[in-house]
Amino acid sequence: MYEAYFGFKENPFRLSPEPGYLYLSEQHRDALNYLIYGIVEKKGFMMISGDIGTGKTTICRSLLAVMDGLIETALIFNTSISELDLLETILTEFGVDPGAVRSRKSYVDKLNVFLLETFAKGRNALLLVDEAQNLSHGVLEQIRMLSNLETEKEKLLQIVLVGQPELKDTLTLPALRQLNERITVRHELRPLLSADMERYIAHRLKVAGGPGKVRLTRGAYRLIYAYSEGIPRRINAICDRAFLVAYTRNATKINRWIVRRAARDIGDAYFQKTISFSRKLWARLTA
């Protein structure tokens, strides 16, 4: 709605993960590089963890964009599945017909044939599981067993588990110790620092065709950071509403009042809970 008013070609703060908008802070760059390294070097198991909205899915989509044409990929987004459903989905994602026989042995045999053929072509195969914290222990154990598909020297399947911090806790359970010990590449995404948040906003405005005629005051940046705590998804939500508020008021400057109004308009329980905290933080920052 406000794109034309501010001179953008599109909305810079959409909540959907978009690789083109990925801001490579130092930690996000490290995460992407670690994954590329793990895949190229055939390390087997890798894990990316982080709170909701820290950019895990965007990192994964960027990884797939970077590796496009170089690897075969199977993406698992629905993690409320059984062991058989997992194997069937993996085959389907790799473009392999699961066949009429629904059995673990049949599925694993077909997968092994596909992986050997892929290896013979000099290509890597990647299984990427998003929201992995929701997987049952049985499915996690099945994934571990898939890492046994290998040649004498190399793993045939590279596996990336992506999930919220609970995933790390789950993997420390005695029943999953073997899986935990096989994860050789790990990275945890944390909220952005204040300076990174400002560069993050500037990056998104630039990609969208801006910054155009809009300007954010120093107080606005501080308040956005207080409300969002540096989590990209929250930053997007606040900025999107703040730009809308500015548009409806024919304003081109985003100030503290507009950011406060944006947080109230969102009506999210988190922002409502943190409004009083943010006011205290603002008072301390400006004392």
What CATH number corresponds to the domain at position 251?
1.10.8.60
Residue 221, in any domain of the structure:
yes
Confidence of residue 79 (pLDDT cuts 50, 70, 90): confident
Query: What is the pLDDT at residue 267?
Result: 72
Residue 253, in any domain of the structure:
yes
Low-confidence winner among 100-104, 213-217, 226-230, 282-286 (lowest mean pLDDT): 282-286
Same domain, 208 and 127: no
Same domain, 200 and 267: yes
Same domain, 145 and 60: yes
Confidence of residue 268 (pLDDT cuts 50, 70, 90): low
Please provide the size of the chain in residues.
287
213, burial (CB in 10 Å: exposed 0-12, middle 13-18, buried 19+): exposed
Instruction: State which of 166, 189, 212 marks the end of a domain.
Output: 189
Residue 132, in any domain of the structure:
yes
Residue 72, in any domain of the structure:
yes
Question: What are the pLDDT digits (tens) for 161-209?
Answer: 999 999 999 999 999 999 999 999 999 999 999 999 999 999 999 999 8
Same domain, 37 and 147: yes
Same domain, 35 and 170: yes
Q: Which residues pair with 75 in a beta bridge?
A: 128
Give the span between the Cα atoms of 102 and 120, in whole angstroms.
Answer: 27
Instruction: Output the six-digit token pair for 24.
Output: 């490579």
Residue 25 pLDDT > 60, yes or no? yes
Query: What is the pLDDT at residue 271?
Result: 53
Instruction: State which of 132, 159, 189 marks the end of a domain.
Output: 189
CATH code at position 31: 3.40.50.300
Query: What is the pLDDT at residue 100?
Result: 85
Same domain, 74 and 137: yes
Residue 282 pLDDT > 60, yes or no? no
Residue 45, in any domain of the structure:
yes
Same domain, 129 and 220: no
Residue 285 pLDDT > 50, yes or no? no
Same domain, 59 and 152: yes
Same domain, 214 and 226: yes
Q: Give the domain extent around 97.
A: 26-189
Mean predicted confidence (pLDDT) in 138-149: 93
Cβ distance 214 to 205 under 8 Å?
yes
Same domain, 155 and 253: no
Number of domains in the chain: 2
pLDDT above 70 covers a percentage of the chain that reads 93
Residue 147, in any domain of the structure:
yes
Confidence of residue 136 (pLDDT cuts 50, 70, 90): very high
Long-range contact list for 218-221, CB < 8 A, 24+ apart? Answer: 219/255, 219/256, 219/282, 219/286, 220/254, 220/255, 220/256, 220/258, 220/259, 221/194, 221/197
Query: What is the pLDDT at residue 76?
Result: 92
Same domain, 199 and 184: no
Residue 274 pLDDT > 80, yes or no? no
Instruction: Output the six-digit token pair for 209.
Output: 């065709």
Instruction: Output the six-digit token pair for 248.
Output: 């409806």
Distances 198 to 106, 175, 216 between C-alpha atoms, Å: 52, 43, 10
Residue 239 pLDDT > 80, yes or no? yes
113, burial (CB in 10 Å: exposed 0-12, middle 13-18, buried 19+): exposed
Mean predicted confidence (pLDDT) in 21-49: 91
Same domain, 228 and 86: no
Residue 21, in any domain of the structure:
no
Residue pointed to by tokens 């008072």: 283
Instruction: State which of 156, 189, 222 marks the end of a domain.
Output: 189
Average pLDDT, the chain: 89
- Angle, vertex CA 248, rays to CA 243 and CA 254, nearest 5: 35
Residue 139, in any domain of the structure:
yes
208, burial (CB in 10 Å: exposed 0-12, middle 13-18, buried 19+): buried
Give the span between the Cα atoms of 234 and 171, in whole angstroms.
Answer: 28
